[in-house]
Amino acid sequence: AIYPSSSPFLTLHAVRQWSNVPFFTVPLARAHGKSFAHRSELRQAKRIVVKLGSAVVTRGDECGLALGRLASIVEQVAVLQNQGREMMIVTSGAVAFGKQRLRHEILLSQSVRQALHSGQNQLKDMSLPVLEARACAAAGQRLYDSPPGSDDAKLLDTFYPGDQHSITYGTKSRVGIGGMEAKVKAALWALQGGTSVVIANGTHPKVTGHVITDIVEGKKVGTFFSEVKPAGPTVEQQTEMARSAGRTLASLEPEQRSDIICTLADLLTERKDEILSANKKDMEHAVSRLSPAMLKRLSLSSSKLNSLSIGLRQIAVSSQDSVGRVLRRTRVANKLELEQITVPIGVLLVIFESRPDCLPQVSALAIASGNALLLKGGKEAANTNRILHELTQEALSIHGVKDAIQLVSTREEVEDLCRLEKMIDLIIPRGSSQLVRDIQRAAKSIPVLGHSEGICHVYVDHEASVDKAIKIIRDSKCDYPAACNAMETLLVHRDLLRTPLFDQIIDMLRTEHVKIHAGPKFASYLTFSPSEVKSLRTEYGDLECCIEVVDSMLEAVDHIHKYGSSHTDVIVTENEDTAEQFLQQLDSACVFWNASSRFADGYRFGLGAEVGISTARIHARGPVGLEGLLTTKWVLRGEGHTAADFSEQGSMTYLHENLPVAQVLPGCRTTS
Amino acid sequence: AIYPSSSPFLTLHAVRQWSNVPFFTVPLARAHGKSFAHRSELRQAKRIVVKLGSAVVTRGDECGLALGRLASIVEQVAVLQNQGREMMIVTSGAVAFGKQRLRHEILLSQSVRQALHSGQNQLKDMSLPVLEARACAAAGQRLYDSPPGSDDAKLLDTFYPGDQHSITYGTKSRVGIGGMEAKVKAALWALQGGTSVVIANGTHPKVTGHVITDIVEGKKVGTFFSEVKPAGPTVEQQTEMARSAGRTLASLEPEQRSDIICTLADLLTERKDEILSANKKDMEHAVSRLSPAMLKRLSLSSSKLNSLSIGLRQIAVSSQDSVGRVLRRTRVANKLELEQITVPIGVLLVIFESRPDCLPQVSALAIASGNALLLKGGKEAANTNRILHELTQEALSIHGVKDAIQLVSTREEVEDLCRLEKMIDLIIPRGSSQLVRDIQRAAKSIPVLGHSEGICHVYVDHEASVDKAIKIIRDSKCDYPAACNAMETLLVHRDLLRTPLFDQIIDMLRTEHVKIHAGPKFASYLTFSPSEVKSLRTEYGDLECCIEVVDSMLEAVDHIHKYGSSHTDVIVTENEDTAEQFLQQLDSACVFWNASSRFADGYRFGLGAEVGISTARIHARGPVGLEGLLTTKWVLRGEGHTAADFSEQGSMTYLHENLPVAQVLPGCRTTS
């Protein structure tokens, strides 16, 4: 039972003495307070009773106790106990429980050698004729019969790893006592007594080892019973609402989508006071908890809102020709014409950290591309996100598609959201590389657009211009060292060692306070070397970098293939042939000649707003603009054409004639 | 021990009596024959000894036996035993084992109640001073010391779930006896005696429940020791070779890639006799095992090779402008120019069933797109695939990229290949929808291009032309019922019921022997209805279909969104407004107006050769040609430009001017 109060309660140290404690004869204290409203609150649970259904306790083949399962359950309970919770295990399935007790009584009077020798067979033989079912059940049955709020009923609270399939398929109980109906009834009674209940499958081999700890961590395992109605729709309902309204959004005229974005841009400035006051609340709450850098990202200002509003108007412009653009037209045969057109991807899930200005930006991109959107922001920006989302829905309402963008409760676990396959078409994480990695791991069957690391290289060729090399290295490393497109490793051609250019590079890095680590080869050239790198595949994200020496441009390419992250890599050289070979051979999303790695960015590329930078090799690669939020569909218009018409006996032949399409370069438009 | 012979051997029924059998005093028979050369042969193992390291047997917190782990291991051994194998469990970690035995002896003489009451604490107290380490170890140590081939040494054979991390990080054994070095030594000795050995991690909670059965099924778990050297490189080595040669392939001139494909086309006809004789071998072997339909797919003929060769020449033509095509050019600023160009995806894995003609086709597509390729064909076509692959490598050799296409051994498990993340960039399954589903499940972090089902609809509007409706329904259902683009559900507007058109449709379907199932609404309109459908989401793949009634075009769209697979859906109507609404609102990869669903096909669309049809929503959608095997990279050419140049204090401004690109429609070219 989860009792938020601290009233006196029997503490069972179940791991150490779980087999023969006569717990249901001991009077228990009453519960106080309300049950939890949401799973995420289960972490606060102080006292937890784990009740095991008979199918959890016993083996599927009826050959006695499911030792492996029991042991792993006991291990989990021990973990929770060691966190300072008060834990109790109740074995149930009234009959199995009673039977087990009676069997135990017989067993306990044997010697160990005798018991092991006779094995389970003997125990199994002690079946119903010997241990009469109703007699066995009597004790357990008392639990179900006790009125809510009574002392005994408390035993049933909270965790109840029964066989969840029984909810739909009826009880699997072999003797018809207990079963799922009784479990649900008991759960409801427990709820009335103020405790929360979760019923989960306790027999699935893949989850048995962590089902209980998962539930306490708030994960969506099994069914959560709560007396308190959740404040809004579930995330599944939100997704359905978003998909449905999203389809309407996609079928609007481009001008209407543009309208919505402009309205949102207006609201950001008109309702500035409301936004800033919500943001002030978040800041006040965060000031003692977040680092100065994080606080800066969290804070909004009048001028931030203004430039946000200007950015939105640019997206409104580019939204005009994004959805429904014809990419290809083919005359397949006489009066049979094929078009490939752009369409939205469907439902996007964008998970972003701290920066609340992300919300209107991403919303505008989703509206422009006709996609439905689920937004999941950080807890620390909850108030700001709420008002920004309200304004977004207000803007969407002008064309009746309010529900196309949903704000997901901060209580939802990212991991659970990543499991909503078939409901969500693409996940876009916007935040730390740790966030991206976590999501890539959790989202098994939903594609994730993003990159988890940016290990960018600048290779200075022996034919490099001194000025360009210095400028580019400084900018690539120092302009914004925390960015994913900042340089992490500087590769230098061997011939440059002990030249003035090399000394100038080192001087510049020292002046800029860049900490230098030496690659193994570089270190071997030096009498006194800086600290050697731990790994050539390191993203410092700070005023630090690695320097390594290579013998040739080709060795630089090999090095980057081996240690890079295929994000952005640069060559500095005056030799065009060398440069073109580098650009051709290097297999990265962005390859630059005599330009800073910092140009790898949607805005700088002229893509307008940026969704993110992808290092994936399918769909979108490199900086991703509106394009990345679109897919295509094929539209064929005929006059009763059939495939049989084109068979050897048929009357028609394929023409496959390319027809002209409107001359808009895909997704390419100026942003000014 | 895996003894291919059937010499007499002690059989331990470990599940029932695994705790107190004095097994290492019993003389064991010698092994005969060679150890297995490959994991896939482990399925044939007759006798298996499972030896458990001390970390597997005991809990991490030193609080006694790891009951959960032991129970699940015993359960797996029982499964293998019940398959008719002779199984033996050896508990080891010499010290832990001996200690356990001595503790058991003490325990066995207590009463059960006494034992449970004292709990593990007492046992833990019986530590080294009481149970002296060397004494405990003595028995286990004998195993390690026994010379190879001797009777006792056999105990160590085969399965050895120790802590695999120890291989790299040294032994974790607390007393320094046994440990990984000794395990490997023992493994090598066992090998010399003719038995195979696998050392795997036995403590990882996610695999403990199936590690032993997985190994016996040939899965790549742990380290496989074999005396017999594998015939060729490992699949990991093959992948590396392919990636490296693939990079060279991608950097060839388009004419050279086209050259290679034409050479392969020549070889298919020049070396016809060799190919057909290999194919004959496969056919002879398959004739008694495969269905007539499967045999037909397996068989090659002179004319099949001829048309294959013609197809390849078409791919050679379209390969000319696939890699390195400029999709977009932008003048970012003065003398700073950006290009987005097409590049290969990297390393493809194509898994295909029975049809060997798939091999040269897919190879040609990979060559045309500059991708490296791993091919995994079916066992039944092994001889044909081998010669076709040899010819492919012969063709690749003319430009020094022989290794870019690798044929993976038929012994490799598809599931293992799907786990080669970071080595393979895209998996393309070509075969049954079951194959596709299996691969989608197995390939967790590698994208899969394909579709597992095609539930295509034809909606006949109340304003449909009779002739077109009949033609399109017949073609969509009957032209090739097993195809993924065949109609599965016919949706009919309510107003058509009891009209001559409706009777004509039913008559036609009867004439064509199409079995009709009624949707619930359709059934409710009829006095005598055909059998009601089990599910409206059914892919019959045969001369069967479902008929359902809808009230309107919009209801048809809703029905298709709910029950369809977003593959291909058709409207038959003379009303252009209705048609355009359907085409706009329906969210499928292919949406057709007055044309048969059978047109959803790369060749018919004019894409040239087809890689497959994708129902994914990112990357490629619908029929996929060469396009789907390409991604892009961004090439930026500057003269020392830095991001700082564009800051407020900088001297430059962004131009973002679109520059013209060569007028080739993306991937769109005629195939004749």
The answer to whether the CB atoms of B346 and A594 lie below 8 A apart is no
The pLDDT of residue A120 is above 80: no
Among B67, B76, B633, the strongest candidate for a mutation testing the A interface, having the largest count of A CBs within 10 A, is B633
Chain B residue numbers with beta carbons less than 8 Å from the beta carbon of A657 are 670
Let me know whether A138 and A255 are in one domain: no
Let me know whether B490 and B351 are in one domain: no
The predicted model gives B89-105 an average pLDDT of: 59
| Distance between B497 CA and the closest CA of chain A, angstroms | 21
Residue B276 neighbours by CB distance under 10 Å: 18
Chain B residue numbers with beta carbons less than 8 Å from the beta carbon of A318 are none
CA distances from A521 to A253, B284, B588 (A): 60, 59, 55
| Distance between A525 CA and the closest CA of chain B, angstroms | 28
| Window 422-451 of A, Cβ < 8 Å to B | 425-426, 440, 444-445, 447, 449
Chain center to CA of B136? 47
The rounded percent of chain A whose pLDDT value lies above 90 is: 49
CA distances from B193 to A172, B151, B153, B422, B615 (A): 51, 10, 9, 38, 53
- Tens of pLDDT, residues B158-187: 333 433 322 232 233 223 334 566 666 766
Tokens of B131: 């149970």
What's the half-sphere exposure (Cβ side, CA atoms, 13 Å) at A227? Answer: 16
Instruction: Confirm or reject contact between A397 and chain B (CB < 8 A).
Output: no
> What is the residue-averaged pLDDT of chain A?
80
Cβ atoms of residues B654 and B646 within 8 Å: yes
The pLDDT of residue B207 is above 80: no
- Tens of pLDDT, residues A370-380: 999 999 999 99
Spatial separation of the C-alpha atoms in residues A11 and A343, rounded to whole Å: 60
Let me know whether B96 and B213 are in one domain: yes
In a domain, B414, yes or no: yes
The predicted structure's pLDDT at residue A103: 61
The predicted model gives B560-584 an average pLDDT of: 96
Q: Determine how β-strand A612-614 pairs with β-strand A223-225.
A: unpaired
The predicted model gives B324-350 an average pLDDT of: 95
Going by pLDDT thresholds of 50, 70 and 90, the confidence category of residue B229 is low
Lowest mean pLDDT, pick from B88-97, B403-412, B517-526:
B88-97
- Tens of pLDDT, residues B239-298: 999 999 999 999 999 999 999 999 999 999 999 999 999 999 999 999 999 888 889 889
Chain center to CA of A10? 40
| Window 247-276 of B, Cβ < 8 Å to A | 247, 251
For B568, the 3-state DSSP assignment is: strand
Let me know whether B171 and B241 are in one domain: no
The pLDDT of residue B153 is above 70: no
**Site of tokens 């609201």:** A267
Last residue of a domain, one of A177, A200, A225: A225
- Secondary structure of A540-567 as H, E, C letters: CCCCEEEEEEECCHHHHHHHHHHHCCCC
In a domain, A630, yes or no: no
- Tens of pLDDT, residues A453-465: 899 999 999 999 9
The predicted structure's pLDDT at residue B523: 94
Query: Which of A109, A583, A596 has the CB atom closest to B635's CB atom?
Result: A583
Last residue of a domain, one of B553, B582, B610: B610
Q: Determine how β-strand B426-430 pairs with β-strand B347-352.
A: parallel
Tokens of A530: 């800086």
DSSP string covering A428-474: EEES-HHHHHHHHHH-SSS-B---S---EEEEE-TT--HHHHHHHHH
The predicted model gives B150-155 an average pLDDT of: 35
Residue A147 neighbours by CB distance under 10 Å: 10
Let me know whether B73 and B126 are in one domain: yes
The predicted structure's pLDDT at residue B95: 55
Going by pLDDT thresholds of 50, 70 and 90, the confidence category of residue A422 is confident
Let me know whether A243 and A216 are in one domain: no
Spatial separation of the C-alpha atoms in residues B597 and A642, rounded to whole Å: 8
Last residue of a domain, one of A195, A225, A255: A225
Buried b (16+ CB within 10 A) or exposed e, B85-103: bbbbbbbbbbbbbbbbbbb
Spatial separation of the C-alpha atoms in residues A474 and B258, rounded to whole Å: 44
Of the two residues A522 and A9, the one the predictor is more confident about is A522
In a domain, A264, yes or no: yes
In a domain, B462, yes or no: yes
Spatial separation of the C-alpha atoms in residues A104 and A108, rounded to whole Å: 6
Sign of CA dihedral A295, A299, A303, A309: positive
Q: Determine how β-strand B47-52 pairs with β-strand B86-91.
A: parallel
What DSSP state is assigned to residue B44? G
The answer to whether the CB atoms of B618 and A618 lie below 8 A apart is yes
Going by pLDDT thresholds of 50, 70 and 90, the confidence category of residue B22 is very low
Query: Of the ranges A83-92, A107-116, B15-24, which is most confident?
Result: A83-92
The answer to whether the CB atoms of A633 and B622 lie below 8 A apart is yes
Spatial separation of the C-alpha atoms in residues B486 and B453, rounded to whole Å: 11
Residue of chain A with shortest Cα separation from B116: A17
The predicted structure's pLDDT at residue B559: 97
In a domain, A565, yes or no: yes
Instruction: Confirm or reject contact between B587 and chain A (CB < 8 A).
Output: yes
Let me know whether A317 and A374 are in one domain: yes
The pLDDT of residue A15 is above 70: no
The predicted model gives A540-546 an average pLDDT of: 94
Which CATH number is B156's domain given?
3.40.1160
**Site of tokens 């004998």:** B142
The predicted structure's pLDDT at residue A228: 65
The predicted structure's pLDDT at residue B165: 29
Instruction: Confirm or reject contact between B213 and chain A (CB < 8 A).
Output: no
Query: How many domains are contained in chain B?
Result: 3
Going by pLDDT thresholds of 50, 70 and 90, the confidence category of residue A109 is low
Let me know whether A330 and A264 are in one domain: yes
The residue count for chain A? 672
| Window 465-484 of B, Cβ < 8 Å to A | 465, 467-468, 471-472, 474-475, 479-480
Let me know whether B419 and B275 are in one domain: yes
Which CATH number is A382's domain given?
3.40.605.10
- Tens of pLDDT, residues A162-217: 333 222 322 332 233 345 666 667 667 766 666 777 777 777 766 667 778 888 88
- The answer for residues whose C-beta is within 8 angstroms of residue A208's C-beta and 6 or more apart is A68, A69, A72, A73, A202
Query: Of the ranges A506-510, B20-24, B427-431, which is most confident?
Result: A506-510
The pLDDT of residue A281 is above 90: yes
A284: domain range?
235-442
CA neighbor of A471 nearest in space, from A483, A479, A482, A481: A479
In a domain, A633, yes or no: no
In a domain, B73, yes or no: yes
Count of helix runs (H) and strand runs (E) in chain B? 23, 21
Lowest mean pLDDT, pick from B100-104, B510-514, B648-652:
B100-104
| Window 99-118 of B, Cβ < 8 Å to A | 107-113, 115-116
Let me know whether A206 and A243 are in one domain: no
Let me know whether A219 and A241 are in one domain: no
CA neighbor of A428 nearest in space, from A616, A264, A670: A616
pTM score above 0.80: no
- The answer for residues whose C-beta is within 8 angstroms of residue B316's C-beta and 6 or more apart is B258, B261, B262, B265, B364, B368
In a domain, A656, yes or no: no
Lowest mean pLDDT, pick from A421-425, A602-606, A619-623, B60-64:
B60-64
> What is the residue-averaged pLDDT of chain B?
80
The pLDDT of residue B427 is above 70: yes
Q: What are the start-end ranges of the E strands in A180-222?
A: 197-199
Tokens of B118: 């004292």
For B160, the 3-state DSSP assignment is: strand
Cβ atoms of residues A623 and A600 within 8 Å: yes
Chain center to CA of B514? 34
Residue B125 neighbours by CB distance under 10 Å: 10
Burial (CB < 10 A; 0-12, 13-18, 19+), residue B208, is: buried
Cβ atoms of residues B272 and B387 within 8 Å: no
Query: Of the ranges A426-435, B21-30, B455-464, B527-536, which is most confident?
Result: B455-464
The pLDDT of residue B98 is above 60: no
Let me know whether A504 and A577 are in one domain: yes
Which CATH number is A560's domain given?
3.40.309.10
- Tens of pLDDT, residues A53-86: 767 776 665 555 666 777 777 888 888 888 888 8
Rounded to 5 degrees, φ, ψ at A595 are -145, 150
The answer to whether the CB atoms of B108 and A107 lie below 8 A apart is no
The predicted model gives B395-409 an average pLDDT of: 96
